[in-house]
Amino acid sequence: MSGKLAVLQQFCVESGMVINQSKTKFMVVRGANAFSNKTFTVAVCESYTYLGSMFTDVGKGETMIKLHLEAKQAHIMEIISFVSKMQISLAGSKMFSKLRSPILCRCETWLGTILKLLEPAYRILIKVWLGVRPNRAIDLCLLELDTPSLVTRVKAAQKQFVPRLLCQRECIDDIIMQTWNNCVEVQTKGAKYIIHLMNTVDVIQEDVYNAPGNLC
């Protein structure tokens, strides 16, 4: 870390740039203290959002889902309020998909994450949208709205996104491919999940993921 920080400082000196310490932080999965030398201090951040995907220093997908749900809570309440004011059933998968999109923003990065924290909110949205009783079976609601379950939709997005990402970076020597190759070599849980996903999961008959950002 000290060597990399020295390189950064030397680059700034040579190019006439100044490091903004208030905007310079680093995150280490499963904890770390702030790093400093004689002239510069790099603070630690507990979470970071990159292109809509949230990462945390805890290293657990469930923590990421929890923070994501908290961030989207206002959007969920807006939908419930909108439907309540209309006082009619708005059954229609296309419009529902547009309003639901922010909740599933960057769901392709939830690899191997248990989605039980997000399931209740997803089910509430569907039932409120259809104007049915809270105790109605979710399977019937999904059928009526002609929309897949949360797990099916997330896995479909992942199945389309991951192979595309690996294909784009196959000939590039970067940290993503290095990490992927290392995970495959030692057969981590994440690597096993992705390989299993690409080999066995059927994509639903809907274009749920055309390009990065479409779910946002």
Spatial distance between the Cα atoms of 173 and 178, rounded to a whole number of angstroms: 7
pTM to 2 decimal places: 0.66
pLDDT, tens digit (0-9, with 9 covering 90-100), for 122-174: 888 888 878 888 899 999 988 888 888 888 888 888 888 888 888 887 777 67
Q: Give pLDDT, residue 32.
A: 64
The more confident residue out of 36 and 42 is: 42
pLDDT, tens digit (0-9, with 9 covering 90-100), for 87-103: 555 555 566 776 677 77
Question: Hey, which of 3-7, 55-59, 110-114, 116-120 has the most confident mean pLDDT?
Answer: 116-120
